[in-house]
Structure 1
Amino acid sequence: MPEIVIPAGSTVGALQIRPQLDALDNRILLCHALGLSRVGLITQSERVLTGEETQRLTALLERRLRGEPIAYIVGQREFFGLPFEVSDAVLIPRPDTELLVELALDRLPAQGRLLDMGTGSGAIAVALAHSRPDAVVTALDLSSAALAVARRNASANGVNITFMASDWFEALGTERYELIVSNPPYIASGDQHLAQGDLRFEPVGALTDHADGLSALRTIVSGAARHLSAGGWLLMEHGYDQAPSVRQLLSDAGYADAQSWRDLAGIERVSGARLS
């Protein structure tokens, strides 16, 4: 890794571009290190960094050069127009997942009951509860660390969600919902992507099922019927090449109208069906 040296007496303006990182990364890390907004970087461009600020910025830049995701370094990521706390206990919310939220909003009836399975940071559940304050939202996860992050995100965004510690449907009893959504682990064990980019730093148990990539999806499909109201929808995010397999799982389980929807890149990203 190239050594980072910030010259003594450097000004904010002189540090806005570091050759080792792209311009956006530079701006985000500089804002975070100095506690400035984007406008502040412009209006305070002649400000000279203190020794403490220089050390703080150097540490952040070094973390990024080691490949650590920006979201983990600054501890936050925006999703569906809302701010979310993130840490290495949860996946980083991604724009692709906003498709799942949009599809859920289209299918959630007034005062509808909704379940988010494997909530992680709570991004999906919080976005839905924020958009639909009339909805009754429940979110579950096996990880206590993830649930702690999700609860803080719900509180910070002013929404009311019931959080549960559960291994998929285990703790639900006889509860039923008009809509069940999930972004489960769907990367197959040994997939090369697990050793690349941001995924290297994210919780492996939230990324892969340690099997063929479909085992969590099978569990959800097989168990959801016992917890859906008549006509209720099941919507699941999945991998770029898994849509045909997920549609088949849904059809084989007796769901109606199994279909898939494409994200902004044209990839079939979400599949779902309704309980007939």
Structure 2
Amino acid sequence: MIVKDALAAHAAFRRDAERLLLHCLDLAHEDRAWLIAHDTDELPNKVLSVFEELCQQRQTGIPLAYLLGYREFWSLRLRVTQDVLIPRPETECLVEWAVELVGEYGLSRFLDLGTGSGAIAMAVKSACPELSVTASDASARALAIAAENAATLDLPVELIESNWLSGLVGRKWPLIVSNPPYVAANDPHLAAGDLRFEPISALTDGDDGLGAIRTIVDESPAHLEPGGWLLLEHGYDQAADVAKLMALRGFNCITLRHDLAGRPRATGGCWTS
């Protein structure tokens, strides 16, 4: 079978099929222009077999990122598996904010809580090479993926297995950032799209979506240096709740940031007590 016929058989999700075929041909660095230029090339049976299998999996809803084994984030190609959340563009606003604070205050150290694939930690480290970065996660499997990304990207990061801050006793940072699970357990989105295949513990706390945020807000002051900042990603409808939690805990300069779509996405505060 030739390239154009193989792709025509999957017209319902043509763009995804194109990326999958390039992946099977070990041409992930190419774009659809290559496929157009080579549309009459004969595909080896082995390539065609793997391509058809991946397309069938995509039709069942398995996210493209998991089938390809990577996702682009902050111009970095990060390895992802079903052990980690798929990095999303909206989280880049959290990275931008962290990078701003590092530059503004000349920070030398930074903690990424619940790092997953290491997306936030790697992105901030790539933008601030001299920064000493620590990343933690409760999942050993997630940390293994983060370690692989750190090695592949040559971005040295200290990785620690910890359930939020419980494994970091006695340590402090001038900046703590986290994209915790914040989807409410009864949110119908959990049963739709990519979320069906992502690790549930990285998406929801099994309750109202604010459980992990409450824990981090409550415990982080013991791990923040005077004048240190805590930045949290949250749902578009949780901004007021997160700001209230931070204010009640004693944070100052509480600020809201929006993502590229203009939705409330991250709240931060300064610990001065």
TM-score range, shorter chain: over 0.9
Render the CA deviation track for 1:170-224: whole Å, top value 9, x for unaligned. 1112111110000001111121111000000000010000111001000000111
Instruction: Give 5+ residue unaligned stretches, structure 2.
Output: none
CA apart distance, 1:273 = 0.5
Distance 1:13 1:212, change over 3 A: same
The equivalences for 1:2-41 within 5 A come to 10-36=1-27, 37-38=30-31, 39-41=33-35
1:110 paired residue number: 106
SS of alignment partner, residue 12 of structure 2: coil
* CA–CA distance in structure 1, aligned partners of residues 150 and 59 of structure 2: 32
Partner residue of 1:135? 131
The superposition leaves residues 74-118 of structure 1 with CA deviations (integer Å, 9 ceiling, x where unpaired) of: 100000000000000000000000000000001114352100000
Instruction: Give aligned pairs, total.
Output: 267
What is the CA-CA distance between 1:269 and the residue it aligns to? 0.4
- Structure-2 residue corresponding to 1:48: 42
SS of residue matched to 2:23: helix
1:33 and 1:60 in contact (8 A); partners too: no
Q: Is the 8 A contact 2:101 2:107 kept in 1?
A: no
Conserved? CA contact 2:107–2:174, under 8 Å: no
Give the Cα separation in 1 of the matches to 2:188 and 2:124. Answer: 33
Q: Which residue of 1 aligns with 2:75?
A: 81
Deviates more, 1:73-82 or 1:27-36: 27-36
Once the 2 structures are TM-superposed, how far is the Cα of residue 18 of structure 1 from its aligned partner? Answer: 4.1
Question: Counterparts of 2:19 and 2:128 in 1: how far apart (Å)?
Answer: 31
Indicate whether 1:151 and 2:147 are aligned.
yes
1:20 touches 1:65 (CA, 8 Å); kept in 2? no
Write the distance in 2 (CA, Å) between the matches of 1:66 and 1:114: 39
TM value normalised by structure 1 = 0.93
Quick one: which of 201, 208, 211 aligns to 1:205? 201
TM-score (norm 2): 0.94
Counterpart of 1:64 (choices 34, 58, 71) is: 58
More helix by share: 2
- Per the TM alignment, residue 15 of structure 1 is displaced from its structure 2 partner at its CA by 3.0
